[in-house]
Amino acid sequence: MTLLYFIIAISLLVVIHEFGHFWVARRCGVQVLRFSVGFGKPFWSFTDKLGTEYAIAPIPLGGYVKMLDEREAPVPEHLLDQAFNRKSPWARIAIASAGPVANFIFALLAYWLLFVSGTSGVVPVVGTVADDSVAAVAGVRSGDEIVAINDHDTTTWQEVSWQLVGFLGEDADIRMTLKGADGTQRSTQLQLQDWLAHQEVPDPLSGLGIEPRRLDVPAVVGEVQPGGAAAAAGLQAGDRVVAVNGTDIADWYDWVEHVRAAAGVEQLLTLERDGEWINVVLTPGSKTLDDGSVIGYVGAGVVAPEIPEGWLRTSHAGIFQGLWLSVNKTTDLIVFTLDSLWKMLLGDVSVKNLSGPITIAKVAGASASGGLEAFIGFLALLSISLGVLNLLPVPMLDGGHILFYLVEVVRGRPLPERVQIIAVQLGLFLLLSLMLVAFYNDISRL
């Protein structure tokens, strides 16, 4: 299912991207030879009255638009005015920009749909605050609700995290508005210095020393991963962990702490199974964290409890308010993506945050399992990332072509062919390097 949702996400967004190029090319008078959904030899196609072939190909990882162009094949004289390379630089800029713009429009419409239909999330109430942490020094207390960050309302934990991620790698003072358990509000300042700059997977909440309030989760096994330590010990779905080495286990979190502290150390588990108590021997495997520390790991999942209604907050926007919110959301994400890339170039944020297709596939599957709202939100975010990356001024990308055409506007003639070839080779090298880093990050996370 993860692979299926990955294919759906990538195919949909790339087709939207290519449709942007197609739509503007048609209106600029360029002959589009083929619009293909998928790659490879088409297994179905038809040609319209304007000479464009619409095709479906067997490799479902996107699509492409092929235009009439003298640089690719000879063009009959009576069709020269429809060739892409014969169009003005401004027309070519419009065509090259249309793909990323289509991705942004899709994201805007997706967020508009979500805001109007209603979005839900968990109310941001603090569970615990780590001693001597940034939050503790600022006076954040257990039971506080985070109402706003720098005057931006935060009605859910998602919004809290979104407001915080913009400060990664920075020195900054954050103004946080809190509502105590008694209903009174107060403000406090959180001081950040080089905040989470070099962490591979920065967690804004734990970086402040904040843990959200927890549900009561009994130590009942929901699933057992094949080949893991739990499977080797004979644990089964539905087992309740009663004790470890004779010490009673209060809940799932308690058992997790025992497992994490016992990498490679044999444990005697007392389980309740079908109303009977049994003993099994479990030896946790080990997992190395980013900081080099080693923790225990057994490969068992929890039975997810239902979130109480009082812990959830749902908001609905009107048609026009939803449109305004979606414009702001899309704009904020475009700026955030560019800012994150800039911080990576400066070294303020680790390049280990780059992700490739494996991570995208995992997130696609996870968001789809979270429901339609989560999957649409993931598609919108991925569409914005695709649009921004394609607008970077790197040859081989839309942004690189736009840069060439802008230089042509200034010079009054195109760049020399040799310069363009060298630039394209450099762009190809940069893209391959970026892909290698992303693949390496994906594999290291596995």
Query: Using an 8 Å Cβ cutoff, are 129 and 146 in contact?
Result: no
SS (H, E, C) the chain: CHHHHHHHHHHHHHHHHHHHHHHHHHHCCCCEEEEEEEECCCCEEEECCCCCEEEECCEEEEEEEEECCCCCCCCCHHHHHHCHHHCCHHHHHHHHHHHHHHHHHHHHHHHHHHHHHCEEEECCEEEEECCCCHHHHHCCCCCCEEEEECCEECCCHHHHHHHHHCCCCCCEEEEEEEECCCCCEEEEEEEECCCCCCCCCCCHHHHHCEEECCCCCCCEEEEECCCCHHHHHCCCCCCEEEEECCEECCCHHHHHHHHHCCCCCCEEEEEEECCEEEEEEECCEEEECCCCCEEEECCEEECCCCCCHHHEEEECCCHHHHHHHHHHHHHHHHHHHHHHHHHHHHCCCCHHHCCCHHHHHHHHHHHHHCCHHHHHHHHHHHHHHHHHHHCCCCCCCHHHHHHHHHHHHHHCCCCCHHHHHHHHHHHHHHHHHHHHHHHHHHHHHC
Task: Name the packing angle between helices 357-369 and 417-445 (round to 10°).
Answer: 60
For residue 21 the two structure tokens come to 């190029």
Contact 423, 400 (CB under 8 A): yes
Q: What does the block give as tokens for 3?
A: 């692979």
Whether the CB-CB separation of 156 and 205 falls below 8 Å is answered with: no
Question: Would residue 18 show up in a list of annotated catalytic residues for this protein?
Answer: yes
Q: Are 382 and 13 in contact (CB under 8 A)?
A: yes
> Which residue in 80, 101, 75 sits closest to 16, CA to CA?
101
Catalytic pick from 18, 70, 72, 170?
18
Smallest CA-to-CA distance from 298 within 265, 345, 249 is with 265
Beta-sheet pairing, 285-288 with 294-297:
antiparallel
Q: Which are the catalytic amino acids? A: 18
